[in-house]
Amino acid sequence: MDDVKKANLKTASQHGIQAPLALLAELSHRCPLQCPYCSNPVQLEKKTGELSTDEWKSVIDQAVEMGMHQIHLSGGEPTVRHDLEDIVEHCTKKGLYSNLITSGVLLNPDRIRNLEKLGLEHVQLSFQDTENENADRIGGFKGGHAKKLEVAKWVRDVELPLTCNCVVHRQNIDNLENFIQMALDLDAERVEIAQVQYYGWALKNRAAFIPTPEQLDHATAIVEKARIDLKGKLVIDYVIPDYYAKHPKNCMGGWGRRFLNMNPKGEVLPCHAAETIPHLKFDNVREKSLKWIWENSEAFNLYRGTDWMPEPCKSCDRKEIDWGGCRCQAMALTGDAKNTDPACSISPLHGEIFSMAADEARRAPPEFIYRRYGVKFNSPI
């Protein structure tokens, strides 16, 4: 464990941290798409290792008892699970706000109608671009975009609220206005314009995705104008690539402060990318309660609060605002999760790393390295 003293780790309550607000539930890593910026870990979980329906129901019970407000049913692709309906029904029974985060390509009108009847409260549908050819190329799934447009309509037909999740980068950022128009045309309440974040698989493809500072400024101006023009009509959430921000993002609202993430086999993670930090050991809901894990799990307590911080974080005014930025990004780019996130402009490694990324943005984008579920494990979807 490097130089971290495990024995002296403070727990959640010793840090004054209350119960988490929401649970990101990765029901499965299986997915028919092959997005080159996939946020799942490089090592995907097999179907046989996934939690059962009853195990997920127990997790939902525990989440509600702890006081959690929301559950995001995610993946991979959560609709590969045939018990998604049982899981949604259980959330409704327990009063947990349920949100389905899906690529949509496996859905049909009957299934959507049924999910709505069972109490699903919201759907987030991902879009790779606004035009068939490029969208299908990015997702690596032929016919995907046309299907998504249909799915959006089926979702609205049963009056389920819709968010369009749009991942933007140098190869579709010029369509930003079209993304916003598409969300309006699809009668979405909300659109998420999220620039690719560079961990795991996305980092392998950074040169193919990272926009130039000029592209980013242009995009930000479009979003700011649309937010004013569409106030009260469409909520626009916007995430910039933090490579170009002055301060790092306060990732997850601080490590182990507000959220938790569960992977398909029941390990509890402080964020969905935490498996990229090789020395972290995760506790599993098959062995411990969710409450015990939130309070005591070493993976959470290692980077909670500010005691673990090195300089320049330790003496920084913003240490309880940014919480040192993102541990996974620090790991990926500096080799040590404890370092200041190099997205921070006062990180000693900021200049070197981000001038490299800016160089990549100025060159022609390379071919994608696609993510294919099953190539490694040969498991059917």
Partner 1 sequence: MTDILKINEQTIPKFPKHVKFRHNKARDEWVILAPERLVKLDPIAVEILQLVDGEKDVKKITNELSEKFKAPEQTILQDVMEMLQSLSDKGFIEENG
The residue within the footprint of partner 1, chosen from 17, 31, 64, 166 (CB under 8 A), is 64
Is 195 an interacting residue with respect to partner 1 (CB under 8 A)? no
Q: Does 95 bind partner 1 (CB under 8 A)?
A: yes
Using CB under 8 A as the binding rule, whether residue 4 contacts partner 1 is answered as no
Is residue 231 involved in binding partner 1 (CB under 8 A)? Answer: yes
Q: In the 8-state DSSP scheme, what is residue 282?
A: -
Q: CB 97 → partner 1: shortest distance, Å? A: 5
Which of 42, 149, 235, 353 touches partner 1 (CB under 8 A)? 235
Kindly write out the interface string for residues 149-188 of this chain, putting x where it contacts partner 1 by CB under 8 A and - elsewhere.
----------xxx-x--------------------x--x-
Cα within 13 Å of Cα(103), Cβ side:
26
Q: In angstroms, give the least distance from the CB of 191 to partner 1.
A: 11
H or E stretch covering 229: helix 213-229
227 vs 288 by CB, closer to partner 1: 227
Are 225 and 238 contacting, i.e. CB atoms less than 8 angstroms apart?
A: no
Count of helix runs (H) and strand runs (E) in the chain: 14, 9
Q: Does 227 help bind partner 1 (rule: CB under 8 A)?
A: no
Residues within window 301-360 making contact with partner 1, judged by CB under 8 A = none
Nearest distance in Å: CB 253, partner 1: 11
String of contacts with partner 1 for each residue 10-49, x by CB under 8 A: ---------x-xx---------------------------
In the complex, what is the shortest distance from the CB of residue 161 to partner 1, in angstroms, rounded to a whole number? 3
Q: Which long-range contacts (CB under 8 A, 24 or more apart) does 14-21 make?
A: 15/304, 15/305, 17/256, 17/257, 17/304, 18/67, 19/66, 19/67, 19/68, 19/294, 20/66, 20/68, 20/258, 20/259, 20/260, 20/294, 21/68, 21/69, 21/70, 21/258, 21/259
What span, in angstroms and rounded, lies between the C-alpha atoms of 274 and 40?
A: 10
Stretch (H or E) spanning 136? helix 132-139
**With binding defined as CB under 8 A, does residue 224 bind partner 1?**
no
Q: Using the rule CB under 8 A, which residue among 10, 142, 233, 372 binds partner 1?
A: 233
CA distance 273 to 327: 9
Q: Is 65 in the site for partner 1 (CB under 8 A)?
A: yes
Cα 198 to chain centroid, rounded: 11
Residues at the site binding partner 1, with contacts judged by CB under 8 A: 19, 21-22, 64-67, 69-70, 72, 95, 97, 99, 121-122, 124, 159-161, 163, 184, 187, 189-190, 231-235, 237
